[in-house]
Amino acid sequence: MALAMLLSGCVHETAADRAPRSDPMGRLTPVGDSPWRQDLGDPELRGLLRQADLGALDIKIALARLERAQAEVDLARAAAAPQLAVGAAGAVGGRTFASRRAVGSPTLEVTYDFDIYGRIARLRKAAALERTASAQDLAEARLLVAAETARAYVALCAASDSRAAAVRRQASAARAITLVRVRVSEGVATARDLDSRAAADDAAAMLDRAARVGVATETARLAALTGVSQPPAPACATGSNPTGAETVAAKVVDSRPDVQAALARLRAADFRRAAAVAAERPQFQISAALGAPDAAVSSLLGTGVLAWALVGRIGETLLDGGAGHARIRIAASEADLADLAYRKAVLQGWTELKLTTMAVAAADENLAAAQRAGVRAQGRLDTLRIRGAQGVADGLALADAEEGLEQARDVLRQARLGAAEARIARALAGGGR
């Protein structure tokens, strides 16, 4: 009997249960491809997205919650299985303080709950749906991490480009200052002209400092998202050409992880309410005992010593002060809340999808206009350079044209950033598609 009790204590434990808790960062890893699909055609961003999917803390947290939900499923499943308990019962006492008697007996008890009204089955279904919701929460976390990674990468590209533009502007401003100084010495320019060019040089230096801060900030964001201490310098091969307006399909909203999670939680709440109703109906239980059953069984059979017993129990609570009704009302309220949360998720999904689709179309139009403006500014500069080589163009006019081209490039850079951001937001609203 002692050996049986020792063995029974080991049945409930696995090697992982007995081992020290492992590091969740290395143990918790998402399975399968990420639901995020938008990499903007950039292979480097594609690699960063993979790193973020494997190393982001938010994803690790969602994985841990999914593990807990799976444990809840296993616990609910165990309630429907036969229960076997072994042990021993002993007592010592006497009729007087001078007498003593000791008795002992091994015990074996098998219990099985007949789920007549489906209480256990509904709880199992609710646990399974909660696990489904947790799986969708994991998908949502992977989407959000991927979206933040893509945004940080695009912003880093823009900051790097801005820094390069600031360096070009400083070089152009330095050349213009040199020309103005020569003209001041020749008496054809004033100190005010020199101050104006110096102000342009200071502005370019300020832009350079801001760009450096931007590069450092977005690099730090990427490091936090991917778990890489020093992400590689971005190649920034992102392209975002106008593709026309996109259509909004109902199945896109329905497939969003947050909508799927809300639907699963609604169904789980409905099953919990049904289980609460079933719990208030008569419950039937049968058990078998070998050895010393509890006192209630001995009293029921009219004897203090039993070798074995088979016991059936059926019961229903007649008076509970309204607790059962309150539990049903609580479950019903939770189902109502889950229903409203599902409706809100659907409405929010539709709104986000429509707005982001419109934003993509507008961003594509802005990008096309900025590209045309950039071509015109480049054409003006090329013309002035040709005329300058022929000695018929002014050096300051050339510097102004260079500044005009940089301004056009600024607009184009922001338009590209806006188009990329719009597509990232559209992909996030569409569940990664």
DSSP letters for 132-188 = HHHHHHHHHHHHHHHHHHHHHHHHHHHHHHHHHHHHHHHHHHHHHHHHHHHHHHHTS
Average pLDDT, the chain: 79
Distance CA 40, CA 193 (A): 45
Q: How many residues does the chain have?
A: 433
CB count, 10 Å around CB of 209?
11
The answer on pLDDT for 35 being more than 70 is yes
| 154-196 confidence digits (pLDDT tens) | 889 888 888 888 898 888 888 888 888 888 888 888 777 888 8
What average pLDDT does range 368-381 have in this prediction?
A: 86
Tell me what pLDDT residue 105 has: 65
Closest-CA residue to 85 (of 13, 12, 168, 171): 12
Q: What is the pLDDT of residues 109-129, one digit of tens each?
A: 788 888 888 888 998 899 899
Query: Up-side HSE of residue 5: CA atoms within 13 Å toward CB?
Result: 9
Closest CA to 116 of 267, 268, 312, 296: 312
User: In this structure, what token pair is assigned to residue 33?
Assistant: 């491809």
How many Cα atoms occupy the beta-carbon half-sphere of 424 within 13 Å?
A: 25
- Which of 74-83, 238-247, 276-285, 399-408 bottoms out in mean pLDDT, i.e. has the lowest? 238-247
Q: At 179, list the tokens.
A: 């020309």
Distances (CA, A) of 25 to 46, 49, 141, 160, 226: 22, 17, 16, 32, 13
- pLDDT score of 244: 42
Predicted model pTM: 0.67
**CA separation for the pair 335, 275 (Å, rounded):** 12
3-state percent breakdown (helix, strand, coil) of the chain, nearest 5: 70, 10, 20
Distance CA 292, CA 107 (A): 6
Q: What is the mean pLDDT of residues 60-82?
A: 85
Rounded distance, CA 433 to CA 35, Å?
8
Q: What is the DSSP string of 112-125?
A: EEE-TTSHHHHHHH
CB 274 within 8 A of CB 365: no
- In the chain, the N- to C-terminal Cα span, in Å, equals 61
Residue 150 has pLDDT above 50, yes or no: yes
Mean pLDDT computed over 374-395: 83
User: Strand, coil or helix: what is 235?
Assistant: coil
CA distance 214 to 21: 40
